[in-house]
Chain A
């Protein structure tokens, strides 16, 4: 479908130890306000023995991203490598992207009169935003642009168990395949958490 690479997140629930390190790395590294968490570790089947596992989720940078479709100002744009970004200068903070998002990724810091929603904030896969690359404005509004520096996003870079990996879809799939085979689980029998919703056609 895509001629070039297609960036994806993958969180290996067999490896995630619920340490919340990715959350902290993202929040501190991108100078986010306290009530904003672009990435969140959630625990599924909590308390059920054998079935409990944790995954770290954030914006999944969906193909045909529903947030981009519903935005009444069309402030979203999808890069050629599949990273979904948005323009905070145009965003009106209506909240529709949050309703459209399967993963609850868009966040709204309180702002302006009456404590109404400010403009939306979400994971940029550490790829900055529409402001000039490495400018102060980009850093202030969207956080670090580690992709432009040739680095892995903060969350995946710090993950101590390598549960959270990010990169070109083919390479990510290869790593998952290797891990499954090594553990004797056979080939990938089920899609990783949320992938069937984020990337329905791939």
Chain B
């Protein structure tokens, strides 16, 4: 019976209106939770006061500076167009990718605005950004499962990945080098695993914070308020990693490799680009060109 009750409570938590009728577990647990404040409560306060903002700023500036230096020193990769193309992304993949892309474009800037909300003055503007952050989360929740399933097999490590790492992905020189990568290079793979893995973590912790009074049992955590504190800590750290990788991905697709944006729009990649940037994938598909 108690199992059934907790199941109903869990289901109720998914409907915002239910939190109103259900008991406030955070307050009920207060007599036990107050003496344990020194654990997660103090940790959260210290991290939020001393670390989060600084780390976000350092990460943001560092990535932008590295990207700028790369653009100036090495410059963008540009491949001779052979005119022979093959389809690498079908319509479904592109739809899912752009849904996820839209969600990240909403989530990352609004998230940064929330972190630096003092700079933006708070008030209605930041409150609207919080709503948009929530909207982006819904979009990402829709996109993350198909995104994971459609590419997970291509994203597993391969032999060619080692060569790609050794030659620095071919991004450190203007010359055209064969990188040895398969359909996706290790950089893309890292971004895939971070976007889906850390993304799901962000989704989960963000949902917990959205609920504000989680009325269901959370594993490993004794008090609900500690679950919220932990969620906020994890959310911040995971967001930093995703922020860095998102900006790198953005730079790569928009500036560093010419034509990559076009390939995600049309679905076709040129032979020349695949030959160098995805050379072991090229071995498999080279018969398909020119038909």
A contact set with B: CB distance below 8 Å: 35, 37, 40, 42-45, 57, 66, 69-70, 72-75, 89-96, 98-104, 108, 110, 112-117, 119, 193-194, 197
Other 9 A-B pairs with CB < 8 A, given A66-B45, A69-B45, A116-B130: A92-B123, A93-B127, A98-B225, A99-B44, A99-B228, A99-B229, A113-B131, A116-B134, A117-B210
A43, A69, A98, A99: the one contacting B49 at CB < 8 Å is: A69
Q: Which of B28, B122, B134, B209 has the most CB of A within 10 A?
A: B122
B97-155 interface (Cβ within 8 A of A): 114-118, 121-123, 126-127, 130-131, 134-135
Min CB–CB distance B270 → chain A (angstroms): 43
Task: Identify B26's interface contact among A93, A104, A110, CB under 8 A.
Answer: A104
A104 to B20, CA, bound (A): 17
Known interface pairs A73-B118, A108-B212; A99-B26 also in contact (CB < 8 Å): no
B217 at the interface (CB under 8 A from A): no
* A/B interface sample: 7 pairs, CB < 8 A: A35-B20, A70-B48, A99-B228, A100-B48, A114-B131, A114-B135, A197-B37
A110: chain B residues at CB < 8 Å are 16, 20
Known contacts A70-B48, A92-B130, A94-B130; is A103 also within 8 Å of B121 by CB? no
When distances are taken between beta carbons in the complex, the residues of chain A under 8 Å from B44 are 70, 99-100
Given A66-B41, A92-B117, A92-B127, A75-B122 contact (CB < 8 Å): yes
**Chain A residues near B115 (CB-CB < 8 A):** 72
Q: Report which of A91, A96, A101, A117 forms a contact with B122, defined as CB distance below 8 A.
A: A91
The secondary-structure label for the interface of chain B is helix
Cα separation A12 to B79 with both chains bound (whole Å):
78
Q: CA A116 – CA B212 in complex, angstroms? A: 9
The A interface is mostly helix, strand or loop, or mixed, namely loop
Is there contact, CB below 8 Å, between A115 and B45?
no
How far is B267's CA from A100's CA once the two chains are assembled, in angstroms?
48
Find the B residue at minimum CB distance from A66: B45
Rounded to whole angstroms, the CA-CA distance of A102 and B27 in the bound complex is: 11
Residue of A nearest to B226 (CB): A99
Contact of B34 among A69, A92, A102 (CB under 8 A): A102
Nearest-Cβ distance from residue A125 to partner chain B, whole angstroms: 19
Q: A103-B34, A113-B131 are in contact. Are A95 and B122 (CB under 8 A)?
A: no
Q: Give the interface centre of A37, A102, A193 by most chain B CB atoms within 10 Å.
A: A102
Q: Could you tell me the distance in whole angstroms from the C-beta of A130 to the nearest C-beta in chain B?
A: 13
Contact, CB under 8 Å: B16 / A115: yes
